[in-house]
Amino acid sequence: MALKAGIVGLPNVGKSTLFNCLSSAKAQAANFPFCTIDAQMGQITVPDERLNKLAELVHPGRIVPATCDIVDIAGLVKGASKGEGLGNQFLGNIRETDAIIHVLRCFDNDNIVHVDGSVDPVRDKEIIDTELQLKDLETIENRIKRVEKVAKVGGDKQAKLEYDVLLQYKAALEQGKSARTVTFENEDEQQAAKNLFLLTAKPVLYVCNVDDTSAAHGNAHVDAVREAIKDENAELLIISAQTEADIAELESYEEKQMFLEDMGLKESGCDRLIKAIYHLLDLQTFITAGEMEVKAWTFRKGWKAPQCAGVIHTDFEKGFIRAEVIKYDDYVRYGSEAAVREAGKMGVEGKDYVVQDGDIMHFRFNV
């Protein structure tokens, strides 16, 4: 399944530096606003040591990890919802993403200018929140004009349901709250809400870009952001983009690990960020393992076996018969698929089986 996350933030907060570390693409990084004019796209690999371990046992022709597309979106300023700066382009690029990586400047450096003249990540967050909320409010108000009469006079049940959803969103947005703070219990309401494609309904990962001395534990700026988002359904990650850039320059895995240890970190910020995106979107991984390849496949937590089969090919889902499942730990313990079968540890599962993260799957189907 295709996955796209957008990196957003005010100009000069470290978006492009972080993007460069995450992606093989190279966005220009410079010390002035709107250095990134076009949304730059890169593809990142989802770190998963299980693939390497399985490859040692299977000896496949290749290893194929899961991937995620990352978009470096041009910096936003006040008035973007009305088209100021690169506003219209910025908002259009956000609408196409599954999740937002909101980078906040949480470091002091007199040599790097701030578009508003001082370092205040909570203020910066509120600027972008406000612009996205204003754009969503405009979307909601335009939609209300189209469905209000039908909902009130025409007796159309679907129109009334959508109208009720719109009113709940309108009330929240007018209070300065994002659409993601509004929850719906009814499945029909949830679908109506999803169909609106609101910007502030997207899940958000706040990335606090700190100096290298704060990479392990954060600082006062990070504490302020954590307090500001405590009521949001969002996640926070501390990263030093400059440190990540230094790590990216190192050639060997051993050198990178030594660098991380010296910084007091267990893994790179880039790896932690990618994993955080997966967690934010309720995504997990199942694996197929054979002589041709060991491959990771992305699915949404809670999916059943036929849905996961459909990730490989729609025919697999349509003609699903059963799934042969090996738990990752069992595969590693016994060393081969044949040994797992002999030990009676291979599960044969039907249509109601809920696939678990790390399951090694083989689907039987008939079309």
Residue 99's SS3 state is strand
On whether 149 is known to bind a ligand per the annotation, the reply is no
Q: Strand pairing of 283-289 and 235-239?
A: unpaired
On whether 13 is known to bind a ligand per the annotation, the reply is yes
Residue 289's SS3 state is strand
On whether 294 is known to bind a ligand per the annotation, the reply is no
Distance in angstroms (rounded) separating the CA atoms of residues 122 and 224: 7
Q: Strand pairing of 204-209 and 235-239?
A: parallel
Distance in angstroms (rounded) separating the CA atoms of residues 244 and 269: 7
Distance in angstroms (rounded) separating the CA atoms of residues 109 and 97: 31
Residue 322's SS3 state is strand
On whether 16 is known to bind a ligand per the annotation, the reply is yes
Distance in angstroms (rounded) separating the CA atoms of residues 249 and 242: 11
On whether 14 is known to bind a ligand per the annotation, the reply is yes
Cα 224 to its chain centre, rounded Å, is 23
Q: Where are the alpha helices (DSSP H) in the chain?
A: 15-22, 49-58, 87-95, 121-149, 157-174, 187-194, 220-228, 241-249, 253-263, 269-280, 305-312, 314-318, 328-334, 337-342
Q: Nearest-CA neighbor of 75 among 84, 62, 63?
A: 84
Burial 179-203 (b: 16+ CB within 10 A, else e): bbebeeeeeebeebbeebebbbbbb
Packing angle between helix 241-249 and helix 15-22, nearest 10 degrees? 30
Distance in angstroms (rounded) separating the CA atoms of residues 54 and 302: 24
Reported residue count of the chain is: 367
Residue 351's SS3 state is coil
Q: Strand pairing of 360-365 and 204-209?
A: unpaired
On whether 12 is known to bind a ligand per the annotation, the reply is yes
Q: Write out the binding residues.
A: 12-17
Q: Write out the binding residues for ATP.
A: 12-17
